[in-house]
Chain A
Amino acid sequence: MATIIIDCKTYEVPLGKNVLETCLNLGFDVPYFCWHPGLGSVGACRQCAVKVFKDADDKKGRLVMSCMEPVVHNQHLAVHDADTIDFRKQVIEWLMTNHPHDCAVCDEGGSCHLQDMTVMTGHHERRFTFNKRTYKNQDLGPFLNHEMNRCIQCYRCVRFYKDYAGGKDLDAYASKNNVYFGRAEDGVLENEFSGNLAEICPTGVFTDKTLKEHYTRKWDLTMSPSICQHCSVGCNTIAGERYGALRMIHNRFHEKINGYFLCDRGRFGYEFVNAENRIKQPSINGDVVERTELETRLEKIMKSAKVIGIGSPRASLQSNFALKTLVGEDNFYHGVSDHEHDLAELAVRILKDGPVRTPSTKEIEKSDAIFVLGEDLTNTAPIVALAVRQAVRQDLSGEPEKIHIQGWQDAARKNLQQQRKMPLYSATIHETKLDDICTSANYATPEDIARLGFAVAHCVDHNSPAPEHFPEALQVRARSIANGLLAAKNPTIISGAGCASSAVMKAAANVAIALHKNGIVVGLTYTMLECNSMGLTMIGGHRLSAAFNAVINGHADTLILLENDLFRHGSFAEVGDFLARCKNVIVLDHTKSDSTDRASVVIPAGTFAESDGIIVNNEGRAQRFFQVYESTESIQESWRWIINIGKTLQHPKLQTWQNFEDISKAMASEEPMLQNIDEVNPAVDFRIVGQRIPREPHRFSGRTSMHAHIQVSEQKPPTDDDSPLSYTMEGTRIQPPSAMIPFYWSPGWNSVQSVAKYQHEVGGSLKDGDSGIRLLEANAASSLVYFQGIPEAFVPLEHHLWIVPTYHIFGSEEMSAKSASIQKRIPTPYLLISAVDANIYHLKEQDIIKVSIANISYSFPIKINRNIPVGMAALPYGLCDAPINALPEWGIVETSPLTELHDYVRKTKVQH
C-alpha cells in the first residue's frame, strides 16, 4: 500500500498500478483514450494528463500522462487544478479538429467514449476554422463498418487486433497527421475476434454492421444479461431488443470467462433469432392452429400414447428437466449421437471424479505452460484460444521486475520480452490459428495424438501406461513436452470432444493426473460441442440409439423432441426412418429444421432471447440467461410449454410448477449433480430497496408512441414472473448482483467503458463477484486411475481415407450458421486431404472426390493441406450433409468419373 495525495486529500492505494487506474478506482473522472484495462498503457493520446508535484512544497508541479506514471509512496498529485483541466481541454480540442461532425448518423453515438470525454473535459465550441482531414473507408466484410474520419489515432484497434488477438491484417498506415487504421486493401477482416473492435475503438470508426441493419441507440434497447449459446465456453453477453427484434449482442464482463471480449460467432450469431425461418405459431400437420386446439390435440395424443422425450444439448437445463419429468426418467433420451454422449460423459466423469481441477478461462490465461490435444480451439472454443494466446504472451522470466517494468507498461514490456514466450505445445489434426505461437505443433491423426499424449503422461509419471512401438523421434518430442510441463508451476492441459476421440480425452486426463501426482497444480479443460453439453450430461438420460430401439421394438410410439434437429446427430436414413416410425412426432423448437419438417405437431419455443434458462459451460459453471423480451407471437420457453402440457394431463409434479423458480427448485432436489442449481441467481422476489432491476435505461424513448399505431392507450407492460428484472425503465439504479446486470451505464459514462464503475477496481472483478456457480470441482480423494487402452498407431489403408471432423467458427455451430452475417463467412463444403493423397488420386485443389461413408456416396471438392497426415481426411462439421456424427469413420474412395472429366477439361484447356 502507498499513501498518495490527490488534490490535497490523502488516500491509501495499492502499489503496482498506474496513476490513471488509481484515480479511476478512487472515483476521479480522468479522461483517457488509449489506455484500456485489458491492453495496458502506451501513452499515445495525451488525454489523461494530471500534475505531479515533487513534494508538499512544490506549488508548480509538472504535467504527466497518468496512464504512464506508476504510483509511488507519498506522491502528490493534482487532477482538478487549472493547468491540467486546461491541458486536457486543449488535447481534446486538437483531437476534434478533424471530427467529421456526424454524430447524428454515427452508430457509436449515445455510447461513445469520445462523446463522453469531450463532455467531461468541457470542450463544447469549435474554434478551429481550417479544413478537416478526410479519409476513404474500406469494406471490411459482413461484420464491421469503417468510418475512418472519426479516428483519433489512439492505436487501441491495432494493439488489440495484432498484439492481443494475433490478427495479421489490420495495421496503421501512412505517417504524421495522416495515420490510417485499416487493411492493406479492402477485404474481410480475418481475425475471429474482429467484432471486439466495435467496443475497443473509443470512437465510431469501427461499428457493428449487423446493428446498422436495424439501428437502435443504446438508450432505446431493452437489455438483459444473457449467456452466449454458440459454444461451450458460455461467455457473458448483453442482448438488446427493440420493437420485438433482437438488435445486438454486446460483451458483458465476466472476470473468469470472457473478460472484455467476445468472439465473432458469439457477437454476430444472434441474427438467427430474427430469421425468416423462425417458428412463430403452433402447427399440426403443417396447418397453423390456435392454442386451444393445440392443447386439446396434445391432450388426446398424450393420453393414449407411449411417449418418449429426447432432450437437447442446446436447450436449457430447465427445458430438459421439464421434459424428463413429463415423460419420466426411463423415457428420457439425450439428443446427441451416442459417440458425443460418451465423450461428454467421459469429460464429466473425469472432471468430477478426477483429482484435477478444471480451470476457468481466466486461469488458463495465467498458466505458464499449455498442452493442447486434438482441439482446434480457435474454431471450437474461440475465447479459450484467445486466453491461450494471452498465456503465451506472458513474460514470467522475472526480467521486467528486475528493471522495474510493471505489467501495464505495454510497450516497454514488449520491447524487453522480444521473442520470449511461454511454452505452448499442441497436437492437432492439421494446422491451427495458434500455431504461430506454438513452441511445438504436431500434426497427427486422433489415434496418434492420443499416443503422443499417453507417451507424455508416461514421461511425466512412469506409472502411467506407455504406448507400444512408439517411434524414437516422437519419444524425443514427448519427452521435451513432458519436461516443459514439469518445469511449469501451473500448466493447463486442454482437450475436448473436437476430434471425436475418447482416447485423446483420456490421454489428456493421464497427462493431467501424472502432473498432479508430481505435485504440480495442473488444470484440465475439455471443450464440448454445444453450449449445454455439460448440463445435459449432468441431468442424465439414455442414449439416442436406445430411443431408436424403443420405437422400433414398439415400446414407444410418440416422440417429444426438444429444441433439436436430430439429423445433426444421426445419419439421414436412420433418423428419417426413426421419425417415420413414430406415430406422433411433437417438436418444440424455435427454428425450422429437417426435424420440424417431419413433425406432426410443431410448438414454437423461444430462443435464448425469449427464454429464461440455465446452461452449464465447459468449466462446469452453471449460468443463467434472462429473457430479453416477451414475444408478441405464441412463442414461449420450451419448459413453459411442457408445464402447460403437464397441467392438461394433470401430471402430479408439473401441475405444481408455476414459474422458473419452481422448476429450478425441483431440479435442485431431484438431480444429484445439480444440487444448488436454484442458487445460480437471486430468487424471483429479490428486490433492491423494494424495486426491480430495469431492463431499460432511464433515457428509453418512445414508450407512449411505439405501440400507438395499434392502440393509442398504453397497455400495461408485461411483468416478469421468473426473475427480479422488469421490462420497463422503472426500477433501481443501484448496481444489481453480477448475474443480473442488464447494461452498463454511469453518469457521464455512456459508453462500454462504464463497466469500470461496476468493478471493484478497474479491470478487476465485478463489485458483487463472479456470477454462476461451479458444479465440477476436483475430487481430492479421487480414485480415478490412469486410463489404459492406448490405441494402435494409425496405418493408412489403400483406397481408404480415415475421415475425422474439423471445425469452423463460422458454420459448424447450428444456430449461428443461420445468422445472415455469419452465413457470408461460411466456407463452402470441402474435404481436406494431404498432398500425397491428392497425388494418389490425381486430384488438384477443388477437384471433386467421391467417397463412400457408411455405404453412402458423397462428393466433395477437395482442399489440399500440407500438414494433414497421409491417409486421413478432415470433413468440416456442420457444413455438409455427410453424417458428421458418425465420424471418425473410414471412407472408401471411389474412382470418380467426375474427376476424370475435370482432368480432361483441364487438360484440353491447357492444350488449346
Chain B
Amino acid sequence: MFSIVRSMWLVFLHMFKKRVTIQYPEQKAKLPARWRGRIVLTRDPDMGERCVGCYLCAAACPVDCISLQATQDESGRRYPAFFRINFSRCIFCGYCEEACPTYAIQLIPDFEMGEYNRQNLVYEKQDLLIDSQGKYPGYNYYKVAGMAIQGKEKGAAINEEKPVDIHSLVP
C-alpha cells in the first residue's frame, strides 16, 4: 500500500522536473559541432573548391557510397567534375572526413534529410558544395602543396625555396 502511494507521489513530482523530450520539429535539437550528419563539400579561405578529387574519401567509405571524377581547370587546380554521395547507403561513419587531406568533405550537425523517394537521397555536387569553410577555417591545400597553380608558382608554397637554377655552377 505504502509503496503504491510512494510511486504515485514520485510520478507526481516529475511533472515539475525539466523536460528531456523536446517538441521536435517545432523545437530543434542543439547538436555539438562534431556531430556526424549531412555531408558537405567546403571551400577554402579564397572560396575556391577545396576538394581536389583525390578519391581518398571514396576509398575510405565502407559502404562505397561516394563516387566522383577528378579533373583539372585551366589554372591547374584539380576539382571533381562530378561528386556523388548516395545517402541512402551512407552510415554517417565519418571515415570520408577522416581520410580527406584537404578538409573538403565534412559531416555537419544536420540530420534532416528524410525523403519519401529513395532516389532523392542521391546527392550530386551542387547539392553538396557549400559556400563556407565549415569546421576547419584557414586551411588552404594549395598553399601547402608543391603543385604550381595559377597565381602560385613553383617555390611559392609555404616552406619552399625558389626553384633551383639547373644551369648554375655555384657549388
Contact = CB atoms under 8 A, between A and B. Distances in A.
A131 B68 CA distance: 34
Contacts, number: 136
A243 B124 CA distance: 16
A136 B154 contact: yes
Interface in A666-721: 699-706, 708-709, 711-713
Contact of A178 (B52, B157, B166): B166
B145 interface: yes
A701 B58 contact: yes
Contact of A104 (B64, B119, B141, B163): B141
Interface stretch (A57-65, A214-222, A295-303): A214-222
Contacts of B71: 215
Nearest to A701: B58
A462 interface: no
Contacts of B122: 705, 708-709, 712
Given A103-B101, A134-B146, A712-B119, A705 B154 contact: no
Contacts of B48: none
A345 interface: no
Contacts of B61: 701-702
Interface in B121-171: 121-122, 124, 141, 144-148, 154-155, 157, 159-164, 166-168, 171
Given A149-B154, A176-B171, A701-B61, A104 B145 contact: yes
Contacts of A176: 171
B72 A212 contact: yes
B164 A178 contact: yes
A712 B72 contact: no
Contacts of B171: 175-176
A132 B164 contact: no
Contacts of A217: 55, 59
Contacts of B162: 134
Interface in B53-91: 53-56, 58-59, 61, 63-72, 78, 84-86, 88-89
Contacts of A709: 84, 122, 124
A156 B41 CA distance: 40
A680 B146 CA distance: 48
Nearest to A136: B163
A704 B65 contact: yes
Contact of A180 (B58, B119, B166): B166
B97 to A, nearest CB: 15
A827 interface: no
Tell me what chain A mostly uses at the interface: helix, strand, loop, or mixed: loop
B14 interface: no
A130 B72 CA distance: 30
A134 B163 contact: yes
B118 interface: yes
Interface in A551-575: none
A133 interface: yes
30 contacts: A100-B145, A104-B56, A104-B102, A109-B54, A130-B159, A131-B159, A132-B160, A134-B155, A134-B161, A135-B164, A135-B166, A137-B148, A137-B154, A150-B146, A173-B166, A178-B164, A178-B168, A214-B69, A215-B69, A700-B64, A702-B61, A702-B68, A704-B63, A705-B65, A705-B66, A705-B85, A705-B89, A708-B65, A709-B84, A713-B118
Interface of A: 99-105, 109-110, 129-137, 147, 149-150, 173-176, 178, 180, 212, 214-217, 219-220, 243, 699-706, 708-709, 711-713
Given A135-B154, A173-B167, A220-B59, 14 more contacts: A100-B147, A102-B147, A103-B101, A105-B145, A134-B162, A135-B163, A136-B163, A149-B146, A702-B65, A705-B64, A705-B84, A709-B122, A711-B119, A712-B118
